[in-house]
Structure 1
Amino acid sequence: MTSSAAASTNASDFEFPVIAMIGTGNMNGAILAGLTAGRGDGAEPIRVTTRSTKSAEQFADDDAVLARAAEDDPEANREAVRGAGAVILGVKPYAIVDALEEIAPALDPGAVIISVAAGVELATMEAHLPEGAKIVRAMPNTPATIGLGATGIAAGRHADAEAMALARAIFESVGAVVEVPESGIALVGAVSGSGPAHVYLLIERMIEASERIGLSEEDARALVVQTFRGAVEMVARHPELEPAELRRRVTSPNGTTEQSVRVLVESGLEDRFEAALRANIARSEELAAEHR
């Protein structure tokens, strides 16, 4: 599998077309926040659709957003996508086909359709859109809500370089982006899509262990959280250094760190991580089969 994190686009300088967002769940909400941050005066509002009137009302005083509620307007989704150059589908996987069939007649021929629905393959979506539709499949993660997301994007059959540049710019507004073939989306899901849960589990277990050896709950949490934050930032700030080298710099021969690292390595941590990722990918493939 090949991937590309190169040719990065500066999202703040990108000239976006009219954007429509179908659904405003956590992920679309994060993307919306990224796209509206720092938008200049006179920029076309981002068209958003919600199921309920109450959800749409939260955007009433936001000039950067034009919200419609399906509860009030059965044509809300079709009106939102009409004339839009990019359509971001944030509905649940089980609702993707219905959403595509609903908006298909109103789509502009050149519109780029971006799906963040896990487990729904490009071929499945292409079957419910006009021939030649430019579809991009994306796998973002929840840290996008604080602008630190990691997203993998994959091109459909007709998604050209321009379509991919647009998708990249959209997700770079909330973090980092890599381009992969569709076969890599499940891998992205295992590593970064589900990855935050794996990291939270490590933090959780390290806090619990710290308490068992005698630290207070408050001190254990403060030290562990700051340690993870600092270690990750060291890796991010020093791309010239492999994580293994950073680890070696903390690990003095016959020292205390060497002993704790040895216990972790001998516990089979490496194999456990690989097994966890493979289990994740297997489940992703099962879900994809259910949506075909």
Structure 2
Amino acid sequence: MRPQIQLLTLSLCAALVGCSSSPTGRNQLTLFSDQDMSNLGAQSFEEMKKEIPQSKDKAVINYVQCVTDTITAHVPKQSAFDEWEVVVFESDQVNAFALPGGKIGVYTGLLNVAVNQDQLATVIGHEIAHVLADHSNERLSQSQLASTGLQITSVALGASDYAEYRDMTMAALGVGVQYGVILPYGRTQESEADIIGLQLMSKAGFNPRESVSLWMNMAKASNGQQPPELLSTHPSHSTRISDLEQEMTVLPNSDESRPNCKA
């Protein structure tokens, strides 16, 4: 079968069996099961815990755990895993991530920019939103259709192939930068995670107005190094702030009392 016909056949099959909708109602292509993605996320997380030093600062660990627990208490029970796990990694990176399977990583460098519980909740809510919206599954599925020769399916389904394709897998899950492979979420996925994350943090009682302050801090921390929006897969800081401010006008008032998480 010619490659073009093979790709078209795969695309048609995917359209028939892999269509789903994100929490915002956006159509998605998701070819992998929740359990496959959960297993892949858990395996990748274990690799990271072996290779990246973990913080031993109990106050910081408890602080990050408090913010995470407050948010996940308002997340529906997931079918593929029982609980969310958060690890604080000792690193200057201003970043965090969440993997399928409920695995959350926060780098200590983020705490220099997310300077209070509400700003940290903005980031953690955003990363959890990537999991709830199946963004890793969506990206892995798109890669499967675009590059069938890379055998991405076998990575998700067979542990024996994990080592060979580890960097590619990490990239598809959203944590590839530190492994030298850059495959970030697209602008649509990032914007969607911003909105879902804002809803999550607000529902948990955190102040959604601080999300704007967080992205202002991010803009300052980048020292003007962010590329123009059209050349980046991430929304520009100004676009993010504008979208968040618009979303805040329709957020319902939270019934929760203010969280009290302290570093």
Q: TM-score normalised by the shorter chain: which range applies?
A: under 0.3
TM-score (norm 2): 0.28
Bigger RCO (CA 8 Å, 6+ sep): 2
Q: Which has the larger radius of gyration?
A: 1
TM-score (norm 1): 0.26
More strand by share: 1
